[in-house]
């Protein structure tokens, strides 16, 4: 059993947990993720390790409440226990002094960008971070990102805070006037796709994290398969980070839409059964 030491509502649908998990915290590195189950019959929910404290033996997770499992997870409070927490999983981020680096985080993707930006800064890189959200009300971790960046740029779709633009606008502004050695982007698939389209024009190496598609974390279910450079890879064991210019984003987004459609059908079936879930599983 794993104790929830801290709970913070970052926005209406985004929650932060600080979880006591000493073994995981001691081995965690930027880019890793873990899998939890809220109870013995619960689904396996993969979450990126958004931060960790080896001394205190804690890991931090930031998750969006979008389905049955994550909404149930959001009902837990400080002092409650999570049944299973397994990790760290996945390949950690490759950290070295590349030189000039831009880290791009969109929406809840800001959380997994944070430990990577922090590690890149500590490795001696000059780090510009660009974070974006639909509106100010769902933007979070501005100060944390500022602390690990030489420069922080904020965009919102509706112009309620920062610059009214998509994250690709300031990204291209930088790319067209100076040399950049690496771009890292984490967020919605459509955002990462257009970040990669932007950087490809300037021949800048771009890394993306595809953690949103993972399911069981072992490579056995095949649900996380993606096409990378024309080859099939499994996000949970081969990733979650890949060369963004090799990702087949159209195939990825089609598969993600399939999951959304399946979940909507499951919800409709539950409603048709008077709100009872007769063995239907959806995340």
d(CA 127, CA 97): 11
Q: Do 53 and 106 fall within a single domain?
A: no
- CA dihedral sign, ordered 122, 165, 132, 138: positive
Assigned domain for 281 exists: no
Could you tell me what percentage of the chain is helix, strand and coil, using 3-state DSSP and rounding each to the nearest 5? 30, 30, 35
Assigned domain for 34 exists: yes
Query: 35 and 19 in contact (C-beta within 8 Å)?
Result: no
The neighbour count for residue 76, using CB atoms within 10 Å, is: 15
Count Cβ atoms within 10 A of the Cβ of residue 264 and give its class: 0-12 exposed, 13-18 middle, 19 or more buried. exposed
pLDDT, tens only, 54-96? 999 999 999 988 888 888 889 999 999 999 999 999 999 999 9
φ/ψ of 26, rounded to 5, equals: -65, -25
Q: Do 142 and 196 fall within a single domain?
A: yes
Q: Which CATH number fits the domain that encloses residue 57?
A: 2.40.30.10
Paired strand residues for 183: 102, 206
Residue ranges of E strands in 67-220: 81-82, 84-89, 100-106, 126-133, 151-156, 163-164, 182-186, 206-209
Query: 136 and 160 in contact (C-beta within 8 Å)?
Result: yes
* Predicted local confidence at residue 168, as pLDDT: 96
Nearest partner of 226 among 199, 196, 246, judged by Cα: 246
Q: Do 81 and 12 fall within a single domain?
A: yes
Per-residue confidence band for 13, with pLDDT thresholds at 50, 70 and 90: confident
pLDDT, tens only, 152-199? 999 999 999 999 999 999 999 999 999 999 999 999 999 999 999 999
Assigned domain for 162 exists: yes
Assigned domain for 83 exists: yes
Cis peptide before 240 (omega within 30 of 0): yes
Structural domain span for residue 51? 2-89
d(CA 178, CA 165): 20
Q: Do 8 and 60 fall within a single domain?
A: yes
């Amino acid at each position: 059993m794993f104790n929830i030491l801290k709970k913070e509502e970052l926005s209406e649908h985004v929650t932060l947990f600080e979880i006591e998990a000493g073994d995981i915290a001691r081995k965690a590195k930027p880019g890793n993720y873990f899998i939890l189950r809220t109870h013995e019959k619960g689904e396996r929910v993969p979450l990126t390790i958004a931060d960790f404290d080896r001394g205190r033996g804690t890991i931090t997770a930031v998750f969006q409440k979008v389905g049955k499992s994550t909404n149930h997870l959001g009902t837990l409070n400080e002092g409650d226990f999570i049944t299973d927490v397994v990790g760290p999983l996945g390949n950690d981020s490759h950290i070295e002094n590349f030189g000039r680096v831009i880290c791009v985080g969109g929406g809840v993707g800001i959380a997994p960008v944070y430990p990577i930006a922090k590690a890149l800064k500590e490795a001696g890189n000059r780090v510009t971070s660009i974070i974006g959200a639909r509106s100010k009300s769902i933007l979070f971790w501005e100060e944390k990102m500022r602390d690990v960046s030489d420069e922080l740029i904020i965009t919102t779709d509706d112009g309620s805070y920062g610059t009214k633009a998509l994250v690709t606008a300031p990204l291209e502004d930088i790319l067209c006037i100076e040399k950049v050695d690496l771009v890292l982007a984490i967020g919605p698939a459509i955002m990462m796709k257009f970040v990669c389209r932007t950087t490809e024009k300037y021949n800048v190496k771009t890394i993306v994290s595809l953690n949103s598609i993972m399911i069981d974390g072992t490579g056995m279910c095949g649900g996380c398969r993606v096409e990378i450079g024309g080859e099939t890879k499994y996000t949970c064991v081969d990733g979650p980070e890949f060369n963004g210019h090799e990702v087949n984003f159209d195939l990825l987004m089609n598969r993600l839409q399939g999951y959304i459609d399946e979940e909507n059908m499951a919800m409709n079936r539950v409603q048709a059964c008077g709100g009872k879930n007769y063995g239907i599983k959806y995340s």
